[in-house]
Amino acid sequence: MLIHIPNVLSPEEVRYFRDRLEAAEWTDGRVTAGEQSAKAKLNLQIPQDSPECRELGEIVLRALGRNPTFNSAALPLRVYPPLFNRYDTGMHFDAHVDNAIRPIPGAGMRIRTDVSSTLFLTGPDEYEGGELVIQDTYGIQSVKLPAGDMVLYPSTSLHSVNRITSGSRWASFFWSQSMVRDDTKRRLLYDFDCSIIETRKALPDSHPAVLGLTSTYHNLLRQWAEL
């Protein structure tokens, strides 16, 4: 499933990110690509160990921590430290699937990539082309969001970034290992949680329907979660 999460970063935060990234060192994006995807990839990234990457990555992680939609949809166990990329005119990333397992630099651990996230840092009016194209179970989806908005999609999806024909597209991207590996189960839990939220708007928390639905949600998560 694809989920659009608006306003993960405020306009002020986006402005701050843009200023910091403007001054950062940009290098060839193929450093984090696998063997097949390196051939398909032409973009720029800031080094993972740069002060900008660390500082801005921390701000993204804090923003995720306070975002109920991200937590409900991704059910994250571990989140990879966010990376930052940029596609200038002529740059693109052809169809590929991201590596399944990624070592977390300096942490001595690896994560399984279950959920991919792209957080847009430039608005749709700042570049032409550059759509994130995702081959989902429901067909091909083309995504281009306002600055500060984020899309989540299953890491099992084949995806690409269309060639930029003018302007520049900046984004943060990262992966999460979910407590629930299977996308269909995650979708059911997300829909279930959304229904509970709607029910709680209509009924008091002490109502047996709210109590029953909430209990069943947690018991289902207990069945499916791997920690």
Q: How far is the CB of 180 from Ni ion (least distance, A)?
A: 21
Residue 114 makes contact with Ni ion by CB under 5 A: no
Q: Which is nearer to Ni ion, 98 or 149 (CB)?
A: 98
Q: Can you say whether residue 139 is alpha, beta or left, with left for phi > 0 and alpha for psi between -120 and 50 degrees?
A: left
Neighbour tally for 223: CB within 10 Å? 9
Q: How far is the CB of 65 from Ni ion (least distance, A)?
A: 24
Q: Which is nearer to Ni ion, 116 or 122 (CB)?
A: 116
Residue 79 backbone dihedrals phi, psi, to 5 degrees: -120, 130
Q: Which is nearer to Ni ion, 13 or 98 (CB)?
A: 98
Contact stretch for Ni ion (CB under 5 A) within 22-30, 96-104, 121-129, 183-191 = 96-104
Write out the H or E segment, with its range, that includes residue 159. Answer: strand 158-161
Q: Which is nearer to Ni ion, 111 or 213 (CB)?
A: 111
Contact stretch for Ni ion (CB under 5 A) within 16-24, 45-53, 98-106, 118-126 = 98-106
Distance, in Å, from the CA atom of 23 to the CA atom of 91, rounded to the nearest integer, reads 20
- Quote the DSSP letter at residue 205: T
Residue 98 makes contact with Ni ion by CB under 5 A: yes
Number of residues engaging Ni ion in binding (CB under 5 A): 1
Contact stretch for Ni ion (CB under 5 A) within 3-11, 49-57, 94-102, 135-143 = 94-102
Contact stretch for Ni ion (CB under 5 A) within 8-16, 60-68, 95-103, 187-195 = 95-103
Report the SS3 class of residue 219.
helix
Q: How far is the CB of 32 from Ni ion (least distance, A)?
A: 9
Q: Which residues of 169-182 are buried (b: 16+ CB within 10 A; e: fewer)?
A: bbbbbbbbbbbbee
Q: Which is nearer to Ni ion, 98 or 193 (CB)?
A: 98
Neighbour tally for 226: CB within 10 Å? 10
Contact stretch for Ni ion (CB under 5 A) within 40-48, 92-100, 162-170, 182-190 = 92-100
Which residue's CB comes closest to Ni ion?
98
Quick one: which of 172, 151, 169 has its CA closest to 161?
A: 169
Sequence-distant (6+) residues with CB within 8 A of 110 are 101, 102, 103, 104
Distance, in Å, from the CA atom of 153 to the CA atom of 174, rounded to the nearest integer, reads 11
In angstroms, the first-to-last Cα distance of the chain is: 22
Q: How far is the CB of 222 from Ni ion (least distance, A)?
A: 32
Q: How far is the CB of 159 from Ni ion (least distance, A)?
A: 6
Q: Which residues bind Ni ion (CB under 5 A)?
A: 98
